[in-house]
Amino acid sequence: MFTSYCPELDVASCGHTPEEAKRNLREVIKIQLEETAKIGTLRDLLAEAGYVIEDEVLKTEKKIVGFEELSISVGVLG
């Protein structure tokens, strides 16, 4: 299984392939945004994530500085 995570919204998902994990994460984010919009808390959610809406444009001061693949080795103690 592969895990995908959106730290800004604190949302995670998973899938059998990296592509499936990403696709599932996009779906979870879409649902979260739609549902918070329905109940009127979308702006609050976005503000907590560091975003603001100015003139109907979503903006943030955050910048992505890099990505790194993680590899974890687990040894057997014995």
The verdict on residue 71 lying in a domain is no
The verdict on residue 68 lying in a domain is no
pLDDT score at 76: 57
**Count of domains in the chain?**
1
The verdict on residue 74 lying in a domain is no
The verdict on residue 37 lying in a domain is yes
Q: Counting beta carbons within 10 angstroms of the beta carbon of residue 4, is it exposed (0 to 12), middle (13 to 18) or buried (19 or more)?
A: buried
The verdict on residue 33 lying in a domain is yes
Q: How far apart are CA 40 and CA 45, in angstroms?
A: 10
How do residues 33-78 score in pLDDT, each as one tens digit?
Answer: 999 999 999 989 988 888 888 888 888 776 666 666 666 666 655 4
The verdict on residue 24 lying in a domain is yes
Range of the domain at 29: 2-60
The verdict on residue 77 lying in a domain is no
